[in-house]
Amino acid sequence: MATESPIADALYDSLLSADAEDRTGESANVVDGMFAIARSLDLVARALRDLGNGDAATPMGAIEAMSVKLNEGLSSISTSIEMLADAVKDSRE
């Protein structure tokens, strides 16, 4: 794009990329790049939401449910270890 202003031409050229194309096949510009970044962030946000409850009718998502089960399992292991320790202590008395 040639204008009468070399500054405007320089700005225009710096905001276009001949190496990338937008959806219409034209040279991509900085707005296309910003849109691609925003779209990618939206996809990441959706994936993270789906790891949560994913708008389901359940109070917990996958991560929360897994952490509850992990806590229950570790608590059970802890209780078993304490019971073994008590049994060893009692056997020495």
Element (DSSP H or E) covering residue 90? helix 62-92
pTM over 0.95: no
* Tens of pLDDT, residue by residue, the chain (93 residues): 667 888 888 887 777 777 777 778 777 777 778 888 999 999 998 888 777 776 677 777 778 888 899 999 999 999 999 999 999 888 877
What angle is formed at CA 25 by the lines to CA 3 and CA 10, rounded to 5 degrees?
Answer: 25
- Taking the C-alpha atoms of residue 55 and residue 73, their distance in angstroms, rounded to an integer, is 27
CA distance 10 to 92: 87
